[in-house]
Structure 1
């Protein structure tokens, strides 16, 4: 029975790690679409979100079946419950990447990001993709106890989003109200993606330590 439970937990873990990988790809491609105005790429990001939705459903079904048939206790139960929570949060990360891509579709053929702000958005993309990649490593065990590092990265994302907001509300901003509204949404989506990643890292550390950081 223990061998069966271990195999089920490993499969569940691999599934969650794959979800983090999908979220990283979605954010990488969404950022590229934003900064280049690549509409076909944006459409692919939006379409691919269904894969993450399905992956969340599969992860939840697997976890619920494990709870019903294997009756895990103590640390194993903590792992299963954390996985259920993390799957929802990672799926939400995919939604946020799709929301970014949708800005490209709605703004096309006009760019979402003015040339002067491309570097800032590129940096936001790099930070958030790195956070999703880090989640993958934390889930697979290639990295350990990464909550503090993720929290620091989140602070960097928040600072860049604040900088972006200050740029579009300054007297020097000259790209119009509609563009400013889209940029404000963009900043919010990046910020929430990072928040969700930190929340997942917190739960993963709870699995290891038994205490929420």
Structure 2
């Protein structure tokens, strides 16, 4: 039994889970800043970015110690490498949340979003936060089924993103090019945030089962 190895891998996953929680909270508050044109919230998020750097450095240190001290081989090595990849996905999610805050700050004191699309972004923000919490949950439990289920919220996010474009492409769009560019970029930030959360889930599936999601589905068939 590789008890120490598994304990240290679980400790790495706890740090990755903490990164997910920070990312979810950041996206929640960034969405608030966006919807409410709240400059104070946006600036606070951008000032606090060092917190993620600390978590990321901690995760990297734990992963390197696993490599150096536990000499993982075969499947274990792939599990540790997955830890590095998960950290990169979460860090990207965090940066995307900060991009949302930056748009809110840039357009202040005016709201960045026209009224027609505010409902879309309220729902996209809700889904993004739920995905971040879901990623944290599967890192804690290594529940492959729950990890795969993150794809349902990603599909919902993709649907919202497509519908958002139907609004932008309407010939009657009255808000000009600058607003259209903002909405396009913001929609992309939320959509990519969801994609990275699903990538975390896919990597957790591998940690839990030693198989990719596609291999699991083939085995089920």
Structure 1 length-normalised TM: 0.93
**Aligned equivalents of 1:98 and 1:87: distance in 2?**
17
Contact 2:142 2:205 in 1 (8 A): no
Aligned residue in 2 for 1:158:
158
Contact 1:124 1:190 in 2 (8 A): yes
Aligned residue in 1 for 2:108:
108
Contact 2:142 2:207 in 1 (8 A): no
The equivalences for 1:35-184 within 5 A come to: 35-141=35-141, 143-184=143-184
Q: Which secondary structure does the structure 1 equivalent of 2:72 belong to?
A: coil
- Between stretches 70-79 and 85-94, larger displacement belongs to 70-79
Deviation at 1:76, TM superposition (A): 3.4
Q: Which secondary structure does the structure 2 equivalent of 1:145 belong to?
A: helix
Deviation at 1:207, TM superposition (A): 1.0
**Aligned equivalents of 2:200 and 2:142: distance in 1?**
16
- Between stretches 172-181 and 42-51, larger displacement belongs to 42-51
**Aligned equivalents of 2:147 and 2:15: distance in 1?**
21
Give the number of aligned pairs. Answer: 213
Contact 2:19 2:52 in 1 (8 A): yes
Contact 1:154 1:198 in 2 (8 A): yes
Aligned residue in 2 for 1:4:
4
**Aligned equivalents of 1:61 and 1:144: distance in 2?**
26
Structure 2 length-normalised TM: 0.90
Deviations 1:118-167 (A, max 9, x none): 11110000111101100011001185422432122111111111111221
Aligned residue in 1 for 2:24:
24
Extract unaligned runs of 5+ from structure 1. none
**Aligned equivalents of 1:147 and 1:133: distance in 2?**
11
**Aligned equivalents of 1:60 and 1:117: distance in 2?**
39
Extract unaligned runs of 5+ from structure 2. 214-221
Contact 2:135 2:147 in 1 (8 A): no
**Runs of 4+ in structure 1 displaced over 4 angstroms?**
none
Contact 1:138 1:145 in 2 (8 A): no
Contact 2:142 2:204 in 1 (8 A): no
